[in-house]
Structure 1
Amino acid sequence: MYRCVIVSIILYSVLSRTTLSSYVDPHYLACEPQTCGNQSIRYPFYIQGKQQPFCGYPGFAISCDSNGFLILSLSNTPYIIHQIFYHNQSLRVSNAAFSSANNTNTPDSCISAAHNLTLPPTSTFNLVHQNNHKDIVLFFGCNLSSMPLELLDYRIGCSEATNKTDGSVLALYKDDVKTVSLVSKSCGTGGEVVDAVVEESEGVGIEEKLRRGFMLNWTASDCKLCNSTGGRCGFNSTIFTFQCYCTDRIHASKCVISDGRSKASMMMGLALGLAAAVTLLLVMVTLYYTRWKKQNSKHLLVDAFLERHGHLQIKRYSYSDMKKVTNSFKNKLGEGGFGSVYKGQLKDGRHVAVKILSELKGDGEDFINEVVSMSRTSHVNIVALLGFCFQGSKQGLVYEFMPNGSLEKLLSDENDVIGDRQLDYQTLYDIAIGVAKGLEYLHKGCNTRILHFDIKPHNILLDENFCPKISDFGLAKVCTRKESMVSISGTRGTAGYIAPEVFSRNFGVISHKSDVYSYGMMVLEMVGRRRNIKTEVDASSETYFPYWIYNRLVSNQELGLQSISNEFDNEKVRKLTIVSLWCIQTNPSNRPSISKVVEMLEGRVELLQLPPKPFWFSPSASP
């Protein structure tokens, strides 16, 4: 009690003195860097409404919309800033009318008319690599019913998705004078003509180029010297002069503090340091107590659940049992954010994998999900959970041992031979069917329907015969067989494999079709491993792989994968590709059920129809 009083007195005394003796220039405080979305905003830019104009250079005002996107106005037209590169004074922007940030690449949304983009030679912003850009002309509000059929190929946006003939949007290269002239005559006076600019990129269509945008660089006063001396840059637009805002006052180009002020600042720093240390100590004690109380409540919740489900058909181990099984955790197989995995052996001689969890996540839901979901499953393509440990702060799970590791390791291996088995497309095809049958069992074969929500190569394990088994049910959702949709809080899964409706309900309801999407992305990754793509294909690596392979299928071109050695392999790969493209359709209702997926994979390739052209993909999943 007395110690707490003494600490409080010291803290009050130090804070009082530093408050009286410290002074920080208001311009310095006002120009603290801000964030919008995941981007840091600093000089020469400033956010309107959050920062003062003197914090940025004239003409560099930007806004942050409600979705966390940066908006820059060029020629009275809003442009979305995708990324700012301060080191070389450049940024990537795209017209808001075309940007994927506005969901204009979804089949249900239309591209609205945009103003022409004009960048005068004296403009603050200029195109990077002028010779790498091409001018685009767009025609809005055209009626195609009386136009030649070949003009339909130039439609973009929702006009292409819905086969509309009125109010269509056409995009052409401006140097294609003949076609531009034909469209101008056919479109008549009812349409609106807009000019735009795109960067050249081999293998990418006009619509995708418009969404990607282009690079601009800027010219403004250099800020490096001010930053390096601890200042924050700004600009006095009244006298049109750069200024360096420092803690003491405004300087011309860099911060310079006098000797007297240096001594005062040093004393102030020591006082602030002491106050910070005392505050940190109090915070640490508070956090430790809060964490202990929270962890204790988590364990009480899990214990209560296990008491209610005492009939679980798996063994409960003590922590000492786990140590004996793993020989005191000597043989570590792997490590991750969840904890560590060790190889062990049961009394009957069976080898097992023992996962020791580092801590309970959330309220223990992941641990409960794993135990409940897997204790109810028994299938050749589902990893068997043999037991669990929950003793105080120690939690662990005991699985059957998978000697060939994960599918992720298999796909990243540089050799074509794994053990004594040749890694070919027949093996990948068998793995794809096995995973599909495992998912079919989870969706239809259990008494309850289990949705996995984290299908990816890392969670597919392979036994000694390369039979695939689905693992890691920490994010699973158990529901009744009658439920056609489920309700979850937040986003579940791994970036690149998450179905669109899981992170945005605007795409549809969450259901078993969400697992189908993740499965499709995984199979595409199996087909399109980068080391299997020939040199001429690799040159177009900027093209998103599903979009590229779809175009190949439509035009009946060779798939360009090195491991395809015969017609039999080609048939397997074509079947896997068509099925996976069906699985990753944006609208969940357009995806097949996993039972239909199994039927398609085991059927004849001639009976498979190509899915509609893909409209939406996640750039983060690009190979």
Structure 2
Amino acid sequence: MMNFCLIYFLILVLVDHGFGFNMDECKESKCGGHGPAVRFPFRIKGQQPDSCGYPETGFDLSCSERKETVLELPNSVKLLVKNIDYVAQVIYTSDPQDCLPRQLSNFNLSASSFRFRDIGLFNDQSSLFNCSWRKNTFFQMPCLSAPGYQVYVFSSRVSMDNIALLYCAKMYDVSLVPDDMIDGNNILHLNWSIPSCGSCAAKGKFCRLKANTTEPEIECYGKLRQIKWSSAKFVATGIVLVLILLVVVGIVVYRIYSFNRIEKEYQSKIEKFLDDYKAFKPARYSHADIKRITNHFKEELGQGAYGTVFKGKLSDEILTAVKVLNNSQGNGEEFVNEVGTIGKIHHVNVVRLIGFCADGFRRALVYEYLPNTLEKFISSPNAENHFLGWKRLEDIALGIAKGIEYLHQGCNQRILHFDIKPHNILLDHNFNPKISDFGLAKLCSKDQSAVSMTTARGTIGYIAPEVFSRNFGNVSYKSDVYSFGMLVLEMVGGRKSTVDVKERTSDQIYFPEWIYNLLEGGEDLRLEIDTEEDNGIAKKLAIVGLWCIQWNPVHRPSMKTVVQMLEGDGSNLTTPANPFTSTAPAERIHPKIPSRSLYQDLEIIKETE
């Protein structure tokens, strides 16, 4: 019914003739050619009678000598009026000296008709501090700062003993700090609620006080603008456009409503988690901090399913990798997993979480920056300058194994990663490995033998068979062991693209199976190894990898045993049972193999439980 009424109103507007404004003494006025249009509830002093404005404090504007529109608030605060939104009832103002924070101590809107529109984190008493040196930036007031010191705003609840206030001196307290004043913005949004003329402006009408009433009441009258149409054709076109617009607006409103509902549930979950997490949280950053750290997201490092990673800098010495999470992905599980899991971890082979951002619906994770991933050095088999050498590969494999062992045994709860692969192994400048990306991780107690999963998680080629089907056993920490084994086998074969082929065959087989065939037959691995020592390392890595990818989880070693196997010289290691179903080993065939065959899809077996 409402839609038809709106259509009828718009049709009347389209066919109505004439153009102009109400020409009474309170007509719309301006201070200058480019100034905002001034009408009720505002008036310009000296140009319009008192009756043209609303009889409350603050609605009287004035014109400066430079034809600028000026709003005067209590305590002699004068602001330039840039624009007035009569529908939203918002007035946009700025400081004449381009430094809004300088007037903070004078702002007191209690006796005014206006209120700050945007009050963010500082919705209570705040204080300004003069800081001669600060390692970590916070909410800065750039225009109050000078060479040798910076001015920051903190909540008054922050104790003077807080390490964040080291080298800082308190300047003065302020009642409220709107978001507009932080980080150098010089546009202040003020809104008013009384008189409520927004509905009149939305209907294209003027607003004024009703005559002969004891209390101030407003009414709509006249028309702000009338459009003249000269033919029925234009009228019909206008009706069609209005109908289309209504359909589009209806769809948009529904989408916005649905999105806001989902996001509010999402945000509620995030905030509850953060409240519970205060005991051991890393640093929390605002979205403004994230923009400053990443230089407004200037340098992109990569993209993933959950967001984009940018290079950032906390200081000249501290570089960071900032993962900005997609707002539309998931229900908060990925963010909670990463912060809740990695925030508690301190290990040389696990990437360190420096901080996070949960500013409204905007979320980000700040990690230590590491220049390379393992994938870069094992995905180019013919690029000799990318080969790290067998001793370094052995050290990397051992470091990864120690990191996974720590996740499984070194924390209060066992952490199952579920996405061990070369892309998630970062390398520092000394090629020390660090495990990253805990978005798919699950927590369980150390004595828990199995975990429940509703869907398979991980990357094809590295996922343990029991993750696809419980026919192969229960999902447990042994699933990470399988992924580690596939990673190690890929490290072993990273420089090998093909082997010699007998004329009688051109078959291709799975690369780990090819390694097993050679070891079972007592042959060398045929990987162009230069020394006997390197051959021993390659053979040890291959045997460890084959033990880890046994299809039955019970037959796989724990990561503690894997570490012991890698720390030994490998002379006592025996080749495990054949984990494959192929009959090729008995024929002693040396077929052609694909260099990246480790990405081969496993057959998905449906659940029978």
Q: Give TM-score scaled by structure 2 length.
A: 0.54
Write out per-residue CA displacement over residues 46-99 of structure 1, whole angstroms, 9 at most, x where no aligned residue.
xxxxxxxxxxxxxxxxxxxxxxxxxxxxxxxxxxxxxxxxxxxxxxxxxxxxxx
Q: What's 1:579 paired with?
A: 544
Write out per-residue CA displacement over residues 452-493 of structure 1, whole angstroms, 9 at most, x where no aligned residue.
011001100000000000000011111222222212221111
Q: What's 1:614 paired with?
A: 579
Q: Which residue, 523, 532, 535 being the options, matches 1:557?
A: 523
Q: Which residue, 338, 358, 377 being the options, matches 2:326?
A: 358
CA shift, 1:586, in A, is 0.8
> 1:146-185 to 2 correspondence within 5 Å?
none
Q: What's 1:324 paired with?
A: 292
CA shift, 1:505, in A, is 1.3
Larger Rg: 2
Q: What's 2:2 paired with?
A: 2
Counterparts in 2 of 1:280 and 1:492: CA distance versus 1, 3 Å: farther
Gaps of 5+ in 1: 8-274
In 2, the alpha carbon distance for the partners of 1:485 and 1:544 equals: 29
Counterparts in 2 of 1:452 and 1:540: CA distance versus 1, 3 Å: farther
Q: What's 1:500 paired with?
A: 465
In 2, the alpha carbon distance for the partners of 1:467 and 1:537 equals: 41
In 2, the alpha carbon distance for the partners of 1:284 and 1:500 equals: 44
Write out per-residue CA displacement over residues 14-56 of structure 1, whole angstroms, 9 at most, x where no aligned residue.
xxxxxxxxxxxxxxxxxxxxxxxxxxxxxxxxxxxxxxxxxxx
1:406 aligns with 2:373: yes
Q: Secondary structure at the match of 1:417?
A: helix
Write out per-residue CA displacement over residues 103-128 of structure 1, whole angstroms, 9 at most, x where no aligned residue.
xxxxxxxxxxxxxxxxxxxxxxxxxx
Q: Secondary structure at the match of 2:278?
A: coil
Q: Which residue, 421, 425, 437 being the options, matches 1:456?
A: 421
CA shift, 1:3, in A, is 2.7
In 1, the alpha carbon distance for the partners of 2:468 and 2:514 equals: 25
Q: What's 2:402 paired with?
A: 437
CA shift, 1:540, in A, is 5.3
Q: What's 2:305 paired with?
A: 337
Contact 1:586 1:616 in 2 (8 A): no
Q: What's 2:164 paired with?
A: none
Q: Which residue, 412, 415, 431 being the options, matches 1:447?
A: 412
CA shift, 1:503, in A, is 1.5
Counterparts in 2 of 1:620 and 1:425: CA distance versus 1, 3 Å: closer
Letter in 2 for 1:478: L
In 1, the alpha carbon distance for the partners of 2:577 and 2:248 equals: 58
CA shift, 1:338, in A, is 2.0
Q: Secondary structure at the match of 2:347?
A: coil
Q: Secondary structure at the match of 1:311?
A: helix
1:370 aligns with 2:335: no
Contact 1:532 1:561 in 2 (8 A): no
Q: What's 2:348 paired with?
A: 380
Counterparts in 2 of 1:565 and 1:298: CA distance versus 1, 3 Å: same
- When structure 1 is superposed on structure 2, of 327-336 and 545-554 the one drifting more is 327-336
Counterparts in 2 of 1:279 and 1:402: CA distance versus 1, 3 Å: same
Q: Give TM-score scaled by structure 1 length.
A: 0.53
> 1:458-497 to 2 correspondence within 5 Å?
458-497=423-462
Contact 2:513 2:580 in 1 (8 A): no
In 1, the alpha carbon distance for the partners of 2:476 and 2:495 equals: 31
Write out per-residue CA displacement over residues 566-593 of structure 1, whole angstroms, 9 at most, x where no aligned residue.
1111111111111111111111001000
Counterparts in 2 of 1:425 and 1:340: CA distance versus 1, 3 Å: same
Gaps of 5+ in 2: 8-242, 583-595, 602-609
In 2, the alpha carbon distance for the partners of 1:622 and 1:556 equals: 26
Counterparts in 2 of 1:616 and 1:451: CA distance versus 1, 3 Å: farther
CA shift, 1:335, in A, is 2.0
Root-mean-square deviation (CA, aligned residues, Å) is: 2.9
Contact 1:537 1:560 in 2 (8 A): no
Contact 1:552 1:559 in 2 (8 A): yes
Letter in 1 for 2:263: Q
1:546 aligns with 2:515: no
Letter in 2 for 1:477: K
Counterparts in 2 of 1:277 and 1:458: CA distance versus 1, 3 Å: farther
Q: Secondary structure at the match of 2:355?
A: strand
- When structure 1 is superposed on structure 2, of 513-522 and 353-362 the one drifting more is 353-362
